[in-house]
Amino acid sequence: MDYKILDEAKEELREAMIFYNEERPGLGLELLDRFEETLEFICDFPLAATKTIRNTRKSSLKQFPFSIIYKVNDDLLTVISVAHQKRRPGYWKNRL
């Protein structure tokens, strides 16, 4: 399935990578690996993740407290947010 990542979601991922690299060099790249693995899974099985509001779904990253929030329209998966699971719940809703 084709996908696009909103600029805001790209920025969230970038900021998280910077934070984790400051904690431990290379940890940001591990976060990116988990993101890519999860994105690949949801592209293969887009309806397998938990439903949230307004026809969005969320899939958690392994090892990190983040979820990919996305929406599927026809043959396009749109990543709306790379959201921290404990901070500012639902802040991404205005992107829908």
Record the tokens describing residue 89, joined without a space. Answer: 């719940």
Residue 95 inside a domain? The answer is no
Query: What is the CATH classification number for the domain harbouring 75?
Result: 3.30.2310.20
Q: Domain limits at 18? A: 2-88
Number of separate domains in the chain: 1
pLDDT tens digits for range 8-58: 999 999 999 999 999 999 999 999 999 999 999 999 999 999 999 889 999
Can you give the pLDDT at residue 77?
Answer: 97
How far apart CA 79 and CA 72 sit, in angstroms, is 9
Per-residue confidence at 96, pLDDT binned at 50, 70, 90?
confident
Q: What is the DSSP letter of 46?
A: T
Asked if residue 77 lies in contact with residue 46, where contact means CB atoms within 8 angstroms, the answer is yes
Query: pTM for this one?
Result: 0.91
